Amino acid sequence: MFCAKNVDSKIDFKKYYNKIIMDITVEELKERLDNGEELNFYDVREEHEFEEDNLGAILIPLAELPDHVAELEPLKDSEIIIHCRSGARSGKAAKYLESLGFTNVRNVLGGILAYRELEEEA
């Protein structure tokens, strides 16, 4: 019989948990924004897209993200929420930041398109 004695002390559950829970739904994001929660919230779309419609996030276009890593460094262990139009670019941004050691980066599933669709349903 296999015994898993002391396994808990050898597993970094925080690291494992953050890898599993790296996405955020538009429902959760909307609730948190509606509650006025202060978020580290970034938009990685292009400036012209941001000017047409935005959710109040800080704009850092994906191509410029490497130039902004130093300013994000103090947030390395804090939750960072990233969105784009559909979730693809923000997914790339999240993976990039994770590769640099950021531990709690969350990608908005479906991006601003899903967020606006949720608002229309309400």
> Is 84 annotated as catalytic?
yes
User: In sequence order, which residues have a C-beta less than 8 Å from that of residue 46 and are 6 or more positions away?
Assistant: 61
Cα dist from 1 to 7, 65, 111, 112, whole Å: 15, 50, 47, 51
Candidates 23, 85, 77; CA nearest to 52 is 85
28 vs 95: CA distance, rounded Å: 21
The active-site residue out of 84, 97, 108, 114 is 84
Residues with catalytic function: 84
